[in-house]
Chain A
């Protein structure tokens, strides 16, 4: 049984707005203490300008999809070529992810501890906050992905075609920002498609393919409009995707010019198993710190497996969907020989936090509130370091 504290419909928009604003405030506070480029902004900012104005994908290497450049450019045009222009879109989308996560958890588990708890955990997570205050692509891709999973759940549970269309749009937006979304999308297509095929529901298979394959592919393609404006053809675009895939999938540590900085950010095996922290860019006396929240994160993997176990055992669609999304994102990280660093874990966090809040409620019962209060207190404590620009090293 899950606790329920449903918000009356007339207060619901106000609650969601307040949730967004609180998340925004935590991410916004002191975000511009660094007036110079932080982390990869030295690549992201000029590439965004070059891409929109010239269709050119440098000075980045150019193998990640380009929707993020369009979003960055929109920020720069709106707020100027300054920290506001570079970072406000991530602050806004990072905050919106908290709201989207609440909606996803609420639609699956009802308006109870799982929904409020998972949203609060993400709202205060030090890595999610830190990456929302920089130009990390995982924030944008993660927001679109949570929205996509929300609409997938709605479509699967209500059979409404409109929700499947929205899911396809958000999968497309997520994949056009970074490729992570392809993995859960592929798993979804195979699992749901196979089920429909077994039932000989050909029309449903056709719908699935058109909304979750053709539609995302179209959005992905359209993100390259500035690149096509340079005179590049569709065969050239196909070759670009091939070469980009080849480069990305075969990258090694020595492919990164700043590997000495990145190495302490761990690898996917260790993200959830040991404390990780790196303080960088100490110019001006303040640091930009990327860290996991070890005392909380250590429970995440067991929580995901518990969610998966109960999902399968009790045939719960929502639990299985969340756990499967996490695994379809995390297993490629584990299997890939390409190095992945801590900031990539941001894409996993929303699904982990649903699992953690769920497991806490199921296992701890009324003590779940105490557990979550403790977890949030630790997050808040770590936040004080991030907000002040203080270095934290474990």
Chain B
């Protein structure tokens, strides 16, 4: 026979077991997360591509993984394209779905879409009319396909200890100011891969 104190203690075994299960689950998923660290390219290099679609092939070739992309361009092409037809569809990227495929293959795991300072008020006005994203006072936070996509001004891109992949849409460089973009592209501590999509405008980085 158990005495009163033992019964008291025994009645808490269940809640304690659940609490233990919860803590073990947190440790478990953290360990899973740590098993898949970001992968970087050696050094620092600027790549030039003619089509956006080629950026996907380039990132695959460089064997990067889970990277943060800082995107300079007016439009972020998030088209799902061929992906809707079949999950086994070919991995041939189209211009409009190269971001989608880069996310799908976990080449890119987070995107900061940089809005030029001059356009920020317009972006905020659109946001105010359709607040389907979280505004934290500096940045507009959204998630597409479980991946964070953060709309921000350049000055509000958080300082990171890890290097980022930078994508620059040449046609839109004038919106940001060429000198500023060139300065960012040239900083070795900031990025390992800079992809410049050449358009009608031709800039030398």
Residues of A at under 8 Å CB distance from B? Answer: 42-43, 45-46, 49-50, 54-63, 161, 165, 168, 203, 206-207, 209-211, 214-215, 217-218, 221-222, 224-225, 227-234, 236-237, 239-240, 242-244, 246-247, 250-252, 254-255
Contacts and interface: CB of A to CB of B under 8 A. Distances in A.
A263 B143 CA distance: 26
**Interface size range of chain B in the complex:** 35 or more
B80 A221 contact: no
Looking at A227, A228, A234, A254, which has the most chain B CB atoms within 10 Å of its CB?
Answer: A228
A96 B83 CA distance: 33
Contacts of A252: 130, 132
Interface string B106-128: 10010000000000000000000
Nearest to B14: A161
Looking at A43, A57, A225, A251, which has the most chain B CB atoms within 10 Å of its CB?
Answer: A57
Contacts of B12: 203, 206
Contacts of A231: 33, 35-38, 65-66, 106, 109
Contacts of A247: 132-133, 142-143
Contacts of A227: 146
Contact of B104 (A50, A215, A250, A251): A50
A60 B144 CA distance: 8
A213 B80 CA distance: 36
B100 A230 contact: no
A130 to B, nearest CB: 23
B18 A211 contact: yes
A248 to B, nearest CB: 9
Given A58-B83, A211-B14, A247-B132, A230 B145 contact: no
Nearest to B142: A243
B151 interface: no
Nearest to B149: A243
Nearest to A212: B18
B143 A240 contact: yes
Contact of B32 (A161, A165, A217, A229): A229
B142 A234 contact: no
Nearest to B131: A250
Contacts of B14: 161, 165, 207, 210-211
Contacts, number: 146
Interface string B10-33: 011011001101100110011011
A299 B87 CA distance: 44
B133 A221 contact: no
A244 B30 CA distance: 21
26 contacts: A42-B84, A46-B86, A50-B104, A54-B105, A56-B145, A57-B145, A58-B83, A59-B145, A62-B147, A206-B15, A209-B15, A210-B19, A214-B19, A215-B22, A218-B18, A225-B29, A228-B29, A229-B35, A231-B65, A231-B66, A231-B106, A236-B148, A240-B148, A242-B134, A246-B131, A252-B130
Nearest to A58: B145
B48 interface: no
B103 interface: yes
B141 to A, nearest CB: 6
Interface in B36-86: 36-38, 65-66, 80, 83-84, 86
A63 B143 contact: yes
A244 B66 contact: no
Given A58-B83, A58-B103, A210-B14, A222 B25 contact: yes
Contacts of A203: 11-12
A62 B143 contact: yes
A229 B36 contact: yes
Contacts of B29: 221-222, 224-225, 228, 234, 237
A30 to B, nearest CB: 25
Contacts of A239: 141, 143, 148
Contacts of B32: 225, 228-229
Contacts of B35: 229, 231
B86 A244 contact: no
Given A61-B145, A62-B147, A242-B141, 10 more contacts: A46-B86, A58-B145, A59-B145, A161-B14, A211-B18, A222-B25, A224-B29, A229-B32, A232-B109, A239-B143
B104 A58 contact: yes
B173 to A, nearest CB: 29
Contacts of A246: 131-134, 141
A58 B144 contact: yes
Contacts of A218: 18, 21-22, 25
A50 B38 CA distance: 20
B145 A60 contact: yes
Contacts of B83: 46, 58-59
A63 B146 CA distance: 7
Nearest to A165: B14
B32 to A, nearest CB: 4
**Which 7 A-B pairs have CB atoms at the shortest separation, nearest pair first?**
A58-B145, A57-B146, A231-B36, A210-B15, A243-B143, A46-B87, A49-B87
A234 B33 contact: yes
B97 to A, nearest CB: 10
